[in-house]
Structure 1
Amino acid sequence: MTAPAEPAVTVLVVDDEELTRTGLRTLLSAQPDIEVVGEADDGSQVLPLVERLRPDVVLMDVRMPTVDGIVATRRLREELADPPKILVLTTFENDDHVYGALRAGASGFLRKRAPARQIAQAVRLVAEGSSILFPHAVRRLATARPVHPGAAARTAALTQRETEILRLMARGLSNQAISAELVVSQETVKTHVGNILAKLGAANRTQAVITAFQAGVADPEAA
């Protein structure tokens, strides 16, 4: 008896350039496990479309003429009890808009010129709850700014073990890699990561790592 197929990951594509939207729709629709359920050409359309279509992932451009990806991301995080995962698209990875979107709650970012396979895999990972985190790029974005007093106060609430795990997260290590590094179970790491996110008020690992860099608890040279 054939096992039932897993439900497709549903995606809303948001970009002000029609050519980009068409390209993304084409490459994602070619994947058997991904379904593009809608498109938008400005961030002002995102919230009502998400409320109607309920996509798993929003593939979000950061630079749009009326409402940009930062504001659209913040609205989704603030106004929906169960917002979709947000994957930011950018032309330049050191764009301040990317940093703003990550702080607002996006799970990660990708270059618009990334290979089709990488974009599709990123959509799958984000849908599963992972963060698409490039430590070197996030480090450049975060450490270009002064230490933030609020971030330092939040990290002060972490235990010694939680701080240690946060530093490993800032190096880009997965739960499995952290488990091997510290010789503890993955379930233990998962519990610590959950506590870290709660104490930092972070929506995901990316926000937690940004806070670590802002607070000065993670060494930029080690990331």
Structure 2
Amino acid sequence: MYRRRPVLIVGFSPLTRIGLARVLSRLPDVGAISAAASPAAAVRFASRTVTGMAVVDQTADPGFTLVRSLSSGYTPCPVVVLLTPSAHADEDARFAFGQGAQAVALATASASYLHQVLAGVYLGVPIQSKGEPANAEHKRGHALSQRETEILALIAEGMSSKVIAERLVVSVETVRSHAKNIIRKLEANGRAEAVSIAYRTGILDSDALPLA
């Protein structure tokens, strides 16, 4: 029998937890949403509960040791880190990925963007399908043009097609056309999955994706 996987929120103020819980409640087939006020409480929770995803506040885990514990423990789970906006956010993002984070986003990101990121991680996007060669995803990345990679990076920042069009001085339809090509080339089911694939396979990194 299928069992919905619980989600753990680590850290954050009580009001922020409520907001995150509302965003998480919109995920398909999401299980119970629990909160842990400290890394120790999070580890205790994960050790006795098969967790579908953990959303970690950087201020509660500044060294990302909890990220490492949750992502590579006895019962590992995917981890999303919400970063504190700062001049060092790009370095923090690179460190978080190195410790095992599946995705990062600024804590000030919009609810709609957070939903995209969280849905992509919770639903899961495999790095490679059975039977594919080990470098299949890298080949997909090489198939992207320079413009497509640029647009994918802006999508990853949470920009809409209209904002991207204004930034690049092109039409909205041109941006949408590029986005469709990106999704097709990466064999993704949508923009969120395309961003997730890009992070996991190195098509995008923290240097290509300014966070501050």
Please identify, of 167-176 and 15-24, the stretch whose mean Cα deviation from structure 2 is larger: 167-176
Which residue is equivalent to 2:165? none
Which residue is equivalent to 1:107? 102
The whole-number CA distance in structure 1 between the counterparts of 2:208 and 2:23 is 35
Q: CA deviation at 1:74?
A: 0.8
Matched letter for residue 130 of structure 1: V
Aligned length: 160
Q: CA deviation at 1:99?
A: 2.0
Tell me how large the CA RMSD over aligned residues is.
Answer: 4.0
Q: CA deviation at 1:18?
A: 2.3
Which residue is equivalent to 2:77? 84
Residues 142-185 of structure 1 deviation map (CA, whole Å, 9 limit, x = unaligned): xxxxxxxxxxxxxxxx87x77544545893586741469xxxxx
Residues 49-68 of structure 1 deviation map (CA, whole Å, 9 limit, x = unaligned): 1122322011111222xx43
Which residue is equivalent to 2:120? 125
Which residue is equivalent to 1:45? 41
The whole-number CA distance in structure 1 between the counterparts of 2:125 and 2:58 is 20
Which residue is equivalent to 2:202? 209
The whole-number CA distance in structure 2 between the counterparts of 1:115 and 1:162 is 29
Q: CA deviation at 1:106?
A: 0.9
In 2 relative to 1, CA 205–48 (structure 1 residues): closer, same or farther, beyond 3 Å?
farther
Q: Quick check: 1:70 aligned with 2:70?
A: no
User: TM-score w.r.t. structure 1 length?
Assistant: 0.54
Which residue is equivalent to 1:185? none
Q: Is the 8 A contact 1:37 1:55 kept in 2?
A: no
1:47 alignment partner, SS class? helix
Residues 105-161 of structure 1 deviation map (CA, whole Å, 9 limit, x = unaligned): 111112223332332332221122239xxxxxxxxxxxxxxxxxxxxxxxxxx87x7
Q: Is the 8 A contact 1:9 1:34 kept in 2?
A: yes
2:76 alignment partner, SS class? coil
Please identify, of 28-37 and 109-118, the stretch whose mean Cα deviation from structure 2 is larger: 28-37
The whole-number CA distance in structure 1 between the counterparts of 2:24 and 2:185 is 29
Matched letter for residue 122 of structure 2: A
Instruction: Show structure 1 runs of 4+ deviating over 6 A.
Output: none
2:55 alignment partner, SS class? strand
Matched letter for residue 70 of structure 1: F
Q: Quick check: 1:21 aligned with 2:17?
A: yes
2:45 alignment partner, SS class? helix
Gaps of 5+ in 2: 127-133, 153-180, 189-196
Identity %: 21
Higher relative contact order (CA 8 A, sep 6+): 2
Residues 59-91 of structure 1 deviation map (CA, whole Å, 9 limit, x = unaligned): 111222xx43611111123322x4111111123
Q: Is the 8 A contact 1:62 1:101 kept in 2?
A: no
Matches within 5 A, 1:149-160: none
User: TM-score w.r.t. structure 2 length?
Assistant: 0.57
Which residue is equivalent to 1:61? 57
